[in-house]
Structure 1
Amino acid sequence: MPAPAHPHYRQLTLANGLRVSLRHAPRLKRCAAVLRVAAGSHDAPLAWPGLAHFLEHLLFLGTERFATSEGLMAFVQRHGGQVNASTRERTTDFFCEVPASNFADALERLGDMLAHPRLDMDDQLREREVLQAEFIAWSQDAQAQHQRAMLEGLAADHPLRGFHAGNRETLPVPRTDFQQSLREFYGEFYQSGQMFLSLAGTQSLDELQALAEQFGAGLRSGARRLQAAPPALLNSGQSGYQYVARQRLHQLIACNAPREALDFLCTWLNASAPGGLLAQLKTRQWATALEAKVLYQFAGQALLEVDVTLANDGPQQAASIEAMLYDWLSFFAHSDWAALRNEYALLIARQQQINGALALARQDSEQLEPRLSDEHCRALKTLLDSLRLAPAKISWQLAPNNPFLQPAAKAPHAGLIRGQTSAHRGLRTFAQDRSRGRRDLSSLTFSHVLPDDSEEGALYLHWRLDCTLQGDFFTRLANTLQPLRENARQAGITLSFETVGTDWLVKMIGAHEPIPAVVEQLAQSLAQPDTNLWQEILPSPAPMIAIRELLKALPACCAGTLPDKAPTNLDDLPGMWSNARWQGFAAGLPTACELAIKQAAARLPGQPATLESTPMPICGQHLWHEVSTDSSDTALLLFCPAPTQTLADEARWRLLAHIIQAPFYQHLRVERQVGYAVFSGIRQFNGQTGLLFGAQSPHMAREDVLGHIQAFLKQLPDLIGAHEDLGNLVLARQLEAQALPTTQAAELLWQAQLAGHRSDYLEQLNQAIQTCTRQDLLSGAQQLNQAAGGWRCVANGAPVAGSWLTPS
């Protein structure tokens, strides 16, 4: 359904049939486009599973006008943006986010690749091998196979049960009939009538409309066509089924309700507050986690999944868990939703307030109403009634209002106490002196590099424990903070935790208004954790592909720490906090927010202190870290720290990363067919800047993957010499304070503080990048190949032959 009229939103249909949504948001620092094609994997010919996914890949391989090195992906990456595509069951999305100054050029490339793909035969054969590598990984991934087995309960002829990713067998590229089907599919669906373009940016609606019209003019015109309706989701008489395997219970419910209604239902079904479904399951020690989501929706069909992570005795209680779910649904169906609808409206408004350009554009591409209407509620009531629910037997409770969604109370006027007026300013009392001196918070630093007139900010809180019994301490502590984390997320704050050895980092990034209240609640929860949450059976970590497991392990490898498995008791907590020290860093916050944070931070456990952050130098060394993963694929990371922590070296490393990114991907993934998950870029750990290279391969040995990376690095002098423009200005502009999204800016400034840089770090780094010469880069490439700053390899296997050392 179209969104209602809004002064910053416009929806229209161009003369050629292209449907467009436009959103003007002056607070944004970037612009984004999402192009949705009404065609997905279920629309491809049955003879060629994976054809739609294959075509999505092919469109990125360059056109006559823009070669791969100048195409959308390379262009967006070069300007510090993000770009990708996704093929789902009935839609294919292409999306990108870039600085406003590059938006028109990005749209031009997006339109050209959609309208004029080359579909070169050699390109197709190479890209099919990429899909083959992905297929091998998919077939070995236990989670993916678990998902496929879960869907076997659907009707046999529903396409959700099929395989649609594509591989060497299903994509016979040289065959004439396959090529004909590929071109017919492209011609039928990749035209204006079958597309929806969503733009979000700082430009006015008229300027965005002009960009949309220019984009649409390059597309092939065509009429909108209806996609074939799917067969029934379930066999006659079924409304759902249950699937249990690998400590997971999946309750699937087929329904026909608007997406807005189902999202509303999932919000309250997922609530972890006391009196809810998850809380009851935890109390009985049947489950450790629960997530309800819409798994599929199209043409009046929807499949709702309630995914329950089971505790040890959970599999034996599958029938009881199902009964409890339906009992909760009965309670919810007969509850008064008025308060929940008000709370939900606040939640949606807060997300709109802090969402970035890409999130806004993706949201608009869904064409959902930005509110829960009376019609949606009636549809949800009808759905719940159709389940023929018996009266609830358990005394359930609805989740309480989220305190962080309410307007923050105004802070008292600085410098005055009760009974004083402005005439008393400057007169101090003993009580005032004592309250002001009760705690030194000089370790809490507020950076004013970022503008404080936006609605977003960031706060980092870093603890260091001076004891050895860390064990599962931080894991259990984070578990007690899950309710806080959930409320913070709904209020527009991403609350995350990072652990390396005895160091624990809490990050709060998002809407700055609730941050002081979140700090206040954090202080209370850390001092007195919920005993039940502390003692809960911890959910097993979600399985990840091998390369992600390595990325998770990389910070600890760089710090040289090993986890201590000694258990920690709640009784140990006071002693741990008494020996703990902490420091804080904030950016992008207005003065009133800073004052409120200082008041709340005075109650944080531990002692404020300036913590030393000295990276371990490994200059000239080749260190190998072996990390165990469940995959038989080869996964490997190569982290190459800069020789020093000076801004000159950081500038060289960043400029090298800027030049390397697209050619590295092209060389290893496309030309050498190493595998997938191929990437390179800058990473910072504990104030240390390094170049990171990564790849996962289903068919190459570790020494071969590493050999390809090393061979590429040896070609760097030639690559640098071939660039007329090294990109100094382009990269420098990306690192300007006013151009950086809050998340990236805060991380940069935090790492700069850890490295001991001055408050004008961004300005100095910008200058160093602009003045970096070709000779500087050639010298940097030589140092990189000589491991002047060291090489650190993290892989899921033993060291290869060479000068690699294994840290003790």
Structure 2
Amino acid sequence: MPAPAQPHHLHLTLANGLRVSLRHAPRLKRCAAVLRVAAGSHDVPLAWPGLAHFLEHLLFLGTERFPSEEGLMTYVQRHGGQVNASTRERTTDFFVELPLSTFADGLERLADLLTHPRLALDDQLREREVLHAEFIAWSQDANAQQQVALLEGLAADHPLRGFHAGNRDSLPVERQAFQQALRDFHQHFYQSGQMTLSLAGPQPLAELERLARRFSEQLRAGPRHPQAAPPALMPAHTQHFQHSADGHLHHVISVDAPREALDFLCFWLNASAPGGLRAELQARQLASTVQASVLYHFAGQALLDLDFTLGTQSDAATQIEALLYDWLSFFAHSDWTSLREEFALLNARQQQVQGALALARHDSEELEAPVSEQHVAALKTLLDALPLQACRHAWQLPPNNPFLRPPVKDERAGLIRGQTSAHRGLRTFAQDRSRGRRELSALSFSPALADAHEEGALYLRWRLDCARPSTLENTLAPLRENARQAGVDLSFDAIGNDWLVKMVGLHQPMPAILDELARSLNLLEEDRQHATAGTPPIAIRQLLKALPACCAGVRPNPPAPSLSWAHARWEGLGIGLPAHCEAALRSAATRLPGQPAILESECPSLNGQRLWHEVHTDALDAALLLFCPTPTRSLADEAAWRLLAHLLQGPFYQRLRVELQIGYAVFSGIRQINGQTGLLFGVQSPSVSLEGIMQHLHTFLAQLPALIDASDDLGHPALAQQFTAQALPLAQAAELLWQARLAGHPADYLTLLQHQIQALTHADLQRAAQQVQDAAGGWRCIANGPRSGGDWQSAD
């Protein structure tokens, strides 16, 4: 199968050895860079575990040329971008995404960060405490500890069995030998020959190449150093093992195959279609899910992990293993032609909708697409080496995803199911005249993003007469997965009796997806599927999940045993959709259950109250969210809150995370919930109590007037620019417009918001800061413990 031409994708190796991947995608609104260093936690001296991760942290603390207040992280946050880094076993990645106008300056800061770190001892002492806090959280995290236990089946001397995160004991920064090792590691690996730069953006390839060459000139030149090959993954004569704990059975296989071949195998192992492994395990109640993934891949070594969420049968492990190898035997002897075509379509569709950062990250992996003949041969060899017998079960290959291909035009359009051409037009007047009028107003389309090209969004909200069944989303999981593969993110949110469905992505498959959603919902008068309980996320994420219900004043309702649409009402908003798609969506919407209606959006006013919501988590850390709503829903208040959040984001992180070291999860920003805009502060700390965290927040808020006075530039242009249609990725723009609708703002909300931000003065910002301190719009605290002191009232 020949690889398709990639006229917008270019690979280069520059004179200093820097490898470059450039991707031109005109549809993108932002630019992204991923810088990969071919060195990770397994490349550090054995005496200093965690050194690579520690260095990654230190690099973000500023350089002589760009100190922390002008460094990469502060700069990216100021301009509404994204920045992060990740240290893995044999690689370290740095990610940056920014608007076009600021991308070159962001790249300049990234190059300086990599090449000229300060590595000051005071910085190291402070940052070691951050890593130690992360270590404590890691040691309490159930998923992390399950992973540690899982890897105990590997050879004892393989570095995957080691500890690499870093803590106080493994990072003796006071010792000269450690300082020498830190600088040696940086000098050895952080140079041009050891790096790969991936750029993605709307600029022409020539412009991206110019940016890459300018970036390259700032790096320290050096050759590529080979990374030491690891010892054997498993003990001699061992190819696989099983590990069972906490309701999961892991079947881990050591293989030698290209990553592309393993990804192809995992995709079909994970398929949920009837006739596949997952469906058979569910039918026999042996396991509710199976998740195949590549745990590790380097230098011809790979670990394939098949994670089965167990059912109730005591002897499930033996039966699961037998079914797994029986399915592998069936797959090994199947014709993969159609599967390869489907897989190629899926990969192409994903790249058609991915943002700049996702595309750059994809390119940094340097994977070939589609699956080549060489990959097929390698996978055949892998399967032949497994102890496979003749297959006994009547397995089936999954059908093609119906949304990956353009729909077949129906030449009998306009007919209702069961009608002939003689009945054409009867429904319009006899059956649906009044319903059509209601749908016309309940399903509206915003003209704000008329030039969204191939992408669009559709929001649908139902108001039910009871809480929706807890397993409704599980029932719709196959539809959601098919939609995702076709380039449409289909997501569900529930607050009390309201149920929100979002579709964001390519508009071409949306009408077919909506039609299938309507069909599925009409069949769901009763939902008998069982939900699968996963490992709970960290405490701060549990609080974020509970935040919308708390803001709506909704107590968690017991899930309904069944679903009835008798009294349900729904409304919708389409964004960035062409006329032909609007028409098709209107047609599909006639089949949605419930009655179309205009729903009121109410967020209970706090009237200056300070309400404390206690949410139980299993974490020992103190975790807290402080949500400060605007006093009114006016655009003036929203603009002031946004500019205030823009100004304080960097200082808040610098003070609580870098200087005070009170926690590893420290953030602030704007959050919109059901049309209500508010400032959100979040902290999770292993060492400071909830009372202590709240005191730090009070202290910081008291310093806002001085922060505003000291700011000659409030950042109006940078913030206002983020709300232009040219700068906003569609998903963000759609969410803003949906929230604007809930708040009652006009269709030209984005333009009005920009004007409001540009008109703000220092006095306006001081007034907003005072309103935040005085809780003029009220305060909501969502925490994993009881309130202590102050003016707080219990929300219960």
Q: TM-score w.r.t. structure 1 length?
A: 0.95
> Partner letter of residue 115 of structure 1?
T
1:151 matched residue in structure 2: 151
C-alpha deviations, 1:280-307, integer Å up to 9, x for none?
1111112122211111100001101111
1:589 matched residue in structure 2: 577
Range that drifts further, 140-149 or 123-132: 140-149
CA distance in 1, matches of 2:411, 2:642: 45
Indicate how the Cα distance of structure 1 residues 610 and 367 shifts in structure 2: closer, same or farther if over 3 A, else same. same
Conserved 8 A contact 1:577-1:606: yes
Deviation at 1:49, TM superposition (A): 0.5
> Partner letter of residue 359 of structure 1?
A
Conserved 8 A contact 1:411-1:596: no
1:379 matched residue in structure 2: 378
1:776 matched residue in structure 2: 764
CA distance in 2, matches of 1:608, 1:185: 63
CA distance in 2, matches of 1:645, 1:90: 50
Deviation at 1:73, TM superposition (A): 0.7
CA distance in 2, matches of 1:582, 1:721: 48
Deviation at 1:414, TM superposition (A): 10
Q: Is the aligned partner of 1:498 residue 2:498?
A: no
CA distance in 1, matches of 2:620, 2:172: 27
Conserved 8 A contact 1:29-1:738: yes
Q: Is the aligned partner of 1:305 residue 2:305?
A: yes
Conserved 8 A contact 1:450-1:738: no
C-alpha deviations, 1:141-192, integer Å up to 9, x for none?
1221111001000000000111100000000001000000000000100000
2:556 matched residue in structure 1: 563
Conserved 8 A contact 2:142-2:535: no
Deviation at 1:263, TM superposition (A): 0.8
Report the 3-state secondary structure (helix = DSSP H, G, I; strand = E; otherwise coil) of the residue aligned with 1:758: coil
Q: 1:699 aligns with which of 673, 681, 687?
A: 687
Deviation at 1:388, TM superposition (A): 2.7
C-alpha deviations, 1:555-574, integer Å up to 9, x for none?
111111122225513xxx3x
1:476 matched residue in structure 2: 471
CA distance in 1, matches of 2:308, 2:208: 44
Deviation at 1:466, TM superposition (A): 2.0
Q: Is the aligned partner of 1:456 residue 2:419?
A: no
2:168 matched residue in structure 1: 168
CA distance in 2, matches of 1:429, 1:550: 52
2:638 matched residue in structure 1: 650
> Partner letter of residue 538 of structure 1?
A
Deviation at 1:5, TM superposition (A): 5.9
C-alpha deviations, 1:108-134, integer Å up to 9, x for none?
000000010000100000000000000
Indicate how the Cα distance of structure 1 residues 567 and 415 shifts in structure 2: closer, same or farther if over 3 A, else same. closer
Report the 3-state secondary structure (helix = DSSP H, G, I; strand = E; otherwise coil) of the residue aligned with 1:117: coil
Report the 3-state secondary structure (helix = DSSP H, G, I; strand = E; otherwise coil) of the residue aligned with 2:471: helix
Indicate how the Cα distance of structure 1 residues 731 and 413 shifts in structure 2: closer, same or farther if over 3 A, else same. farther
Indicate how the Cα distance of structure 1 residues 431 and 695 shifts in structure 2: closer, same or farther if over 3 A, else same. closer
CA distance in 2, matches of 1:206, 1:34: 18
Q: Is the aligned partner of 1:537 residue 2:525?
A: no
2:52 matched residue in structure 1: 52
Q: 1:730 aligns with which of 705, 718, 726?
A: 718
CA distance in 2, matches of 1:88, 1:22: 23
Q: Structure 1: give runs of 5+ residues left out of the alignment.
A: 418-427
C-alpha deviations, 1:660-718, integer Å up to 9, x for none?
11110010001111111100000011100000000100011111111111111110011
Conserved 8 A contact 2:452-2:730: no
Equivalent positions of 1:681-760 (< 5 A) are 681-760=669-748
Conserved 8 A contact 1:4-1:369: no
1:194 matched residue in structure 2: 194
Indicate how the Cα distance of structure 1 residues 600 and 218 shifts in structure 2: closer, same or farther if over 3 A, else same. same
> Partner letter of residue 542 of structure 1?
T
Report the 3-state secondary structure (helix = DSSP H, G, I; strand = E; otherwise coil) of the residue aligned with 2:469: helix
Q: Is the aligned partner of 1:131 residue 2:131?
A: yes
Indicate how the Cα distance of structure 1 residues 457 and 413 shifts in structure 2: closer, same or farther if over 3 A, else same. farther
Q: Is the aligned partner of 1:17 residue 2:17?
A: yes
CA distance in 2, matches of 1:228, 1:4: 35
> Partner letter of residue 690 of structure 2?
R
CA distance in 1, matches of 2:427, 2:460: 29
CA distance in 2, matches of 1:254, 1:536: 35
CA distance in 2, matches of 1:566, 1:7: 52
CA distance in 1, matches of 2:93, 2:645: 28
Deviation at 1:738, TM superposition (A): 2.2
2:296 matched residue in structure 1: 296
2:651 matched residue in structure 1: 663
Deviation at 1:369, TM superposition (A): 0.8
Report the 3-state secondary structure (helix = DSSP H, G, I; strand = E; otherwise coil) of the residue aligned with 1:123: helix
Deviation at 1:604, TM superposition (A): 0.4
Range that drifts further, 616-625 or 558-567: 558-567
1:519 matched residue in structure 2: 514
Conserved 8 A contact 1:474-1:504: no
CA distance in 1, matches of 2:50, 2:375: 35
Deviation at 1:235, TM superposition (A): 0.8
Report the 3-state secondary structure (helix = DSSP H, G, I; strand = E; otherwise coil) of the residue aligned with 1:196: strand
Identity of aligned residues (%): 64
2:419 matched residue in structure 1: none
Report the 3-state secondary structure (helix = DSSP H, G, I; strand = E; otherwise coil) of the residue aligned with 2:561: coil
CA distance in 1, matches of 2:408, 2:580: 11
2:421 matched residue in structure 1: none
Indicate how the Cα distance of structure 1 residues 209 and 4 shifts in structure 2: closer, same or farther if over 3 A, else same. farther
Conserved 8 A contact 1:53-1:165: yes
CA distance in 1, matches of 2:464, 2:45: 60
Deviation at 1:529, TM superposition (A): 3.4
CA distance in 1, matches of 2:86, 2:378: 30
C-alpha deviations, 1:293-336, integer Å up to 9, x for none?
111100001101111111233x5311211111111111111111
1:33 matched residue in structure 2: 33
Report the 3-state secondary structure (helix = DSSP H, G, I; strand = E; otherwise coil) of the residue aligned with 1:404: coil
Conserved 8 A contact 2:470-2:560: no
Q: Is the aligned partner of 1:801 residue 2:789?
A: yes
Conserved 8 A contact 1:477-1:526: no
1:765 matched residue in structure 2: 753
Deviation at 1:542, TM superposition (A): 3.2
Deviation at 1:436, TM superposition (A): 6.4
CA distance in 1, matches of 2:138, 2:165: 9
Deviation at 1:455, TM superposition (A): 1.5
Equivalent positions of 1:155-304 (< 5 A) are 155-304=155-304
Deviation at 1:452, TM superposition (A): 3.8
CA distance in 1, matches of 2:464, 2:477: 22
Deviation at 1:410, TM superposition (A): 4.9
> Partner letter of residue 324 of structure 2?
L
Alpha-carbon RMSD across the aligned residues, in angstroms, is: 1.8
Q: Structure 2: give runs of 5+ residues left out of the alignment.
A: 417-423
> Partner letter of residue 169 of structure 1?
D
Q: 1:489 aligns with which of 484, 495, 498?
A: 484
> Partner letter of residue 795 of structure 1?
A
C-alpha deviations, 1:368-395, integer Å up to 9, x for none?
1121111111110110001031111111
Indicate how the Cα distance of structure 1 residues 660 and 789 shifts in structure 2: closer, same or farther if over 3 A, else same. same
> Partner letter of residue 564 of structure 1?
N
CA distance in 2, matches of 1:56, 1:657: 27
> Partner letter of residue 760 of structure 2?
C
2:116 matched residue in structure 1: 116
Equivalent positions of 1:602-617 (< 5 A) are 602-617=590-605
Task: State the number of aligned residues.
Answer: 786
Q: TM-score w.r.t. structure 2 length?
A: 0.97
CA distance in 1, matches of 2:411, 2:203: 38
Deviation at 1:409, TM superposition (A): 3.9
Equivalent positions of 1:371-410 (< 5 A) are 371-410=370-409
Deviation at 1:475, TM superposition (A): 2.3
Report the 3-state secondary structure (helix = DSSP H, G, I; strand = E; otherwise coil) of the residue aligned with 2:251: strand
Q: 2:544 aligns with which of 551, 566, 582?
A: 551
